Amino acid sequence: MNQTRVAPSLSTIAFVALTSLAASFLLSGCKPATTHTETTTSTLAPAPTPPAPTTQSPSPSAQDLIICFGDSLTAGFGTDLGQSYPDHLQRLLDAQGYHYHVVNAGISGNTTKDGLDRVQLVLDRHPKIVVVEFGGNDGLRGLPIEQTQANLSSILDQLQKSGTQVVLAGITLPPSYGPDYINKFNAMYPALAKQHHVRFLPFLLKDVYGVPGDMQEDATHATAQGNKQVALNVEDLLKPLLKK
């Protein structure tokens, strides 16, 4: 494939509702995998050399990182700079007096294997919280679900072993992939959440998909307006983990 697209997120509602929701889903391409550089969030880069220890402790949470780690839905594909959901999440947290720095580590076109290859970059930043959002490109390529699940499980395991707190965002596929494949794909996310004891968001595009003005013409990626709601969805997921 010259280009890759990510499908809407997993919903834990009944499969009938999922397939109805996805009925209007249209397959189109993603740009080649590139990091979407944001203005209010930082893209992932090798961690700088830490400063020498001081006798004075830093202010609580002042330098705590929240890394949004995923593919085009995280990167902000198709929107202007500063309009990805991590950008809007940063604004929400700032407005509420939380002292976290949100880092956008989304790369369009990434599969779970790509995420697994990049997980060390995330670990090198010593984040407080990581939002993991992968799997759509695996599904659209029809990759074996067992391998996708194994990759995601390894990502979650490595992050948790480092001491970071992890949350998981799920997705779904269009009905053209068939009920057997979709059912197995949809079941993957709650199974991973249970296995790793992490909070998870069943449907990243909750209250976004199908809402006029919230989805791009490709019927897959959120608009800048839609990403505001995605940020609210993720913020709600993170709330129990946040400290002021």
| Residues acting as catalytic residues | 72, 218, 221
Place of tokens 């060390």: 120
Task: Identify the three-state secondary structure at position 180.
Answer: helix
Distance CA 220, CA 222 (A): 7
Distance CA 205, CA 236 (A): 13
Distance CA 161, CA 164 (A): 8
CB atoms within 10 A of CB 194: 10
Tell me whether residue 216 is exposed, middle or buried, using C-beta atoms within 10 angstroms of its C-beta: 0 to 12, 13 to 18, 19 or more.
Answer: middle
Nearest Cα residue to 8 out of 177, 165, 148: 177
Sheet of 199-201: strands edge to edge? 42-43, 100-106, 64-70, 129-133, 165-169, 199-201
